[in-house]
Amino acid sequence: MTTASAIGNGPILVAVDFSEGSRSALLWAARQAQLENTDLHILHVVHDPAASPGFYRKPEQNWLRPMVDVAEEMLEEFLRAAKAERADLKALATAEPRLVTGLPAGRIVEVAREIDARMIVVGSLGRSGVDAILLGSIAERVAQLSPVPVTIVPIGKEVG
């Protein structure tokens, strides 16, 4: 059970992985940050998952580039597209992007603690049944570990 002292007073932290689900989460979090008149922090955890090796590589790129450099470019492109799509969401313009390396669920919760986040927002991949059981869910693990509320945004439910 989360106690009142564990609830942060800082920004909203949204974790993104460049998927459609994290796009929905980003836009929902930006709207929520505006409603709460608080800052928005955008986090991407650099992690080369076994399920999709080479995620941080494009065929036209040099394969010797560090994953963090490629991830930084991907984050910039992702944010540029979101800002172009929803220029009305001022929280996107002032958001603080951040990259860290490690295992996603633990690092998301760690960063939330570091910045005294009031909430963590993540997207849902929409997996169900056997896929969800076998692959697990980063969003579910974040919710289990987090000392602050976690909002899981379904694909397409970002902003009204």
Q: Establish if 158 belongs to a structural domain.
A: no
| Total of domains in the chain | 1
Q: Establish if 77 belongs to a structural domain.
A: yes
Q: Pick the residue with more confidence: 125 or 27?
A: 27
Q: Establish if 160 belongs to a structural domain.
A: no
- Region 11-19 average pLDDT: 95
Query: Cα dist. 37→11, 29, 105, 113, 118 in Å?
Result: 9, 12, 26, 20, 12
pTM of the predicted model as reported, rounded to 2 decimal places: 0.84
- Region 129-133 average pLDDT: 47
% pLDDT > 90, the chain: 61
Q: What residues make up the domain containing 31?
A: 4-153
Q: Establish if 14 belongs to a structural domain.
A: yes
How does pLDDT run across 69-91, given as a tens digit for each residue?
A: 889 999 999 999 999 999 999 99
Q: Establish if 11 belongs to a structural domain.
A: yes
> Which CATH number do you get for residue 44?
3.40.50.620
Q: Establish if 114 belongs to a structural domain.
A: yes
User: Worst-scoring range by mean pLDDT, 14-23, 59-68, 92-101, 144-153?
Assistant: 59-68
Q: Establish if 159 belongs to a structural domain.
A: no
Query: Cα dist. 157→4, 19, 143, 153 in Å?
Result: 28, 14, 19, 6
